[in-house]
Amino acid sequence: MRAFDFAVPHDIDDALGLARDESAFLAGGTTLVDLMKLEVVSPEQVIDINRLPLHGIRPEPDGLRVGALERMEDVARHPAVAGPYPVIAQALLASASPQLRNMASIGGNLLQRTRCGYFRDVATPCNKRSPGTGCPAQHGDNRGHAILGTSASCAATHPSDLAVALVALEASVRLRGADGERTMPLADFYLPPGDTPHVENRLRPGELITEVIVPPLPWAGRSRYVKVRDRQSYEFALASAAVAVDLHDGEVRDARVAVGGVGTVPWRLPAVEDALRAGRSHEEAAALAAAGARPLAGNAFKVTLVQRAILRALTELAGPR
């Protein structure tokens, strides 16, 4: 690990004032410390943000507000989350391990980096880590990679389970930088790789995520996160589905569907939602999930897997149809 300066600010303005281009904020450290050991990232300064007042899980009229430093485990177990938004609690509890969830923050979770093996290995080329060096995953080991939103430059998945649930629920992130605050939908926050896979989101250097806001959705109580992976626990998704349904007399009137493990960003599926709203069968709707998919040699199985993950979520929520 490269040497760095360390700072522990106690208020947000101090933290923003300290930040420079080569700084990194440290929350739970479960992504950052890992990548610093691998020298995938080598910040000159690490700013420990854990003493900042970015806490709280509060239902408010405009939605549920979750402070960026709240830990995954605490958010998952909170009654204001688990009751009205089971899909969030399930996505969190299907993530990582209890120890990691005790450490990892909500803000850090949304900013975790891909698990692509080439990205994590500084001995190999990788456009995301070293722009312009190439993407060995295109013709190499790509079993875990994305089939949606990929480019010739990068096919890495965004690995967060939480982000998939939040995109389905149309959540926003609140950001604060030295020149003020802004709020944007999480779906707009993430950027597909295009020619610039090293730019993953709209966060500016030195800017903090302060809060996540989940708007009210009265029928989100009927929601589910289905995660398919190589082992039952402590593993990232091969394919996952975050689904909520508005059910009347056994019929789906409205739905939210987003998928993970298959997209370069958390992937909302408006076509599947439209089909469900139009009364198409679950199977017909789920079949639209991989429209436009570009599988690589090793991951064509994800086309079927993601459809089945959606179908299973729908069946569990609304019965077979």
Partner 1 sequence: MEHGDPSLRSSSESAANRLVEVTCTVNGTARSLRVDPRATLLDTLRERLELTGTKKGCDRGQCGACTVHVDGRRVLSCLTMVATLDGREVTTIEGLAEGDRLHPVQRAFIDQDGFQCGFCTSGQIMSAVALLREGHASTDGEIREAMSGNICRCGAYPNIVEAVKQARS
Ligand X SMILES: Cc1cc2nc3c(=O)[nH]c(=O)nc-3n(C[C@H](O)[C@H](O)[C@H](O)COP(=O)(O)OP(=O)(O)OC[C@H]3O[C@@H](n4cnc5c(N)ncnc54)[C@H](O)[C@@H]3O)c2cc1C
Binding at 99: pick from ligand X, ligand SF4, partner 1, none (beta carbon under 5-8 Å per type)? partner 1
Query: CB 70 → ligand X: shortest distance, Å?
Result: 10
| Residue 78 CB contacts under 8 Å (≥ 6 apart), including other chains | 57
29 touches ligand X (CB under 6 A): yes
How long a stretch of residues is the chain? 321
261 touches ligand X (CB under 6 A): no
Cβ neighbourhood burial of 270 (10 Å; 0-12, 13-18, 19+): exposed
Query: CB 131 → partner 1: shortest distance, Å?
Result: 23
DSSP 8-class letter at 114: P
Token output for 20: 């420079």
Neighbours of 200 (CB within 10 A): 21
46 touches partner 1 (CB under 8 A): yes
68 touches partner 1 (CB under 8 A): no
82 touches partner 1 (CB under 8 A): no
Q: In what side-by-side order are the strands of the sheet with 23-26?
A: 5-7, 45-48, 23-26
Neighbours of 203 (CB within 10 A): 17
Q: Which one among 159, 206, 261, 266 touches ligand X, defined by CB under 6 A?
A: 159
Pairing of strands 45-48, 23-26: parallel
3 touches partner 1 (CB under 8 A): yes
Backbone angles phi, psi at 166, to 5 degrees: -70, -35
Query: CB 294 → ligand SF4: shortest distance, Å?
Result: 13
299 touches ligand X (CB under 6 A): no
Angle at 100 between CA 97 and CA 101, to 5 degrees: 80
Q: Which one among 63, 84, 86, 108 touches ligand X, defined by CB under 6 A?
A: 108
Query: CB 179 → ligand SF4: shortest distance, Å?
Result: 31
Q: Which one among 105, 109, 127, 210 touches ligand SF4, defined by CB under 6 A?
A: 127
Note whether 222 and 247 are within 8 A (CB): yes
Q: How far apart are CA 244 and CA 210, in angstroms?
A: 26
Calculate the CA 204 to chain-centre distance. 18
274 touches ligand X (CB under 6 A): no
228 touches partner 1 (CB under 8 A): no
13 touches partner 1 (CB under 8 A): no
The crossing angle, in degrees rounded to 10, of helices 86-93 and 161-168 is 170
By Cβ distance, which residue is nearest to ligand X? 108
Binding at 108: pick from ligand SF4, partner 1, ligand X, none (beta carbon under 5-8 Å per type)? ligand X
| Residue 27 CB contacts under 8 Å (≥ 6 apart), including other chains | 49, 50, 68, 69, 104, 105, 107, 108
Binding at 107: pick from ligand SF4, ligand X, partner 1, none (beta carbon under 5-8 Å per type)? ligand X
70 touches ligand X (CB under 6 A): no
34 touches ligand X (CB under 6 A): yes
Binding residues vs ligand X (CB under 6 A): 24-32, 34, 68, 95-96, 100, 103-105, 107-109, 111-112, 159-162, 208-209, 236
